[in-house]
Structure 1
Amino acid sequence: MTAAAPMTALTIRLEDELFAVEASKVREILDLVPVTEVPHASPFVSGLINVRGRVVPLADLRVMFGMAQPEPDEDTRIVVMEFDLDGEPMIAGILADKVHDVTDIESASIEEAPKVGMRWRPEFVRGIGKRNGGFIIIPDLGRIFETQGGRSAPAAASEERSAS
């Protein structure tokens, strides 16, 4: 029996936690760029950025994980990723307090997120990996963006109706 291939991941820091996103879904890593704020938008995706002439939503995972949102500093980066949302490819930028490195996380070391005892909603965590004696949170980006899209679309539609 062959062991499953390791997950090649880009590790990023949000607050004091290490997160891992699939490296194959990362398109590029940017220094901070100007952000166009979107009025009445969800705090999760409150702005848009220009990535090589394309309008891209900028998401802040710290909002979904109930973390503090400090002002950006010299380590803050935007990780531009492409992933599937409802079967369609989507490009989004994700704020990171710091980008670390690309590493392999052995599939045998990835466990399901516990249902209790976590500070994050377990449905937003695809798994928890172990590396160098510490834990790495693997967020479920598809589910996070689906949830936010599903929540914010009806609210935006009702606000448009009441404004007209």
Structure 2
Amino acid sequence: MAVRGSKPGPSGWRVLLAVLIAVPGLLVLGAGVWLVWGVVTWDGGGRGPEQAPCEEALAFGGARLPQGAYDTDCSVQSFLDTMYEGSFRMPREGARDWLADMAPQGSAPVEGCWSGADLCLDMDQDEGGLPPGAEAHHVSVDVFYENATTALVRWSAFTM
């Protein structure tokens, strides 16, 4: 018997309905939190750049290591896309010719680059093309004159 002025307690079907609505909502919320946590803490599969032969790195961009190159240091990083980066030194007198030989028609080495390089060359699959045999979609080369005889070359080639 109910006391006058008090409301009756929830019936069984209302409790069941509340549980049926709350449980899927909590599952979706938990999955969302788990996804956000995974994205925030993901480190790309734990695979940072690995050393790679510079011949391989340059070939990926359709180029060859120039005559007289030394102090070579190249790496590769790959997950969904592939990126090769590297640097080497070469005789300064051959830098412009090496860039010009690598560039397809329409591309030419640029002087006074935004990167601060003395010479640079950016080649894209969509804009002017890449050298024959290139697997990369974009290649970027910066040449810095270190002194009267030496040029430092920084190279990157990647897919998109």
Q: Tell whether the structures are fold-level matches, with TM greater than 0.5.
A: no
Q: Looking at CA atoms only, which structure, 1 or 2, has the larger radius of gyration? A: 2
Of Structure 1 and Structure 2, the greater helix share is in 2
With the length of structure 1 as denominator, give the TM-score of the two structures.
Answer: 0.26
With the length of structure 2 as denominator, give the TM-score of the two structures.
Answer: 0.26
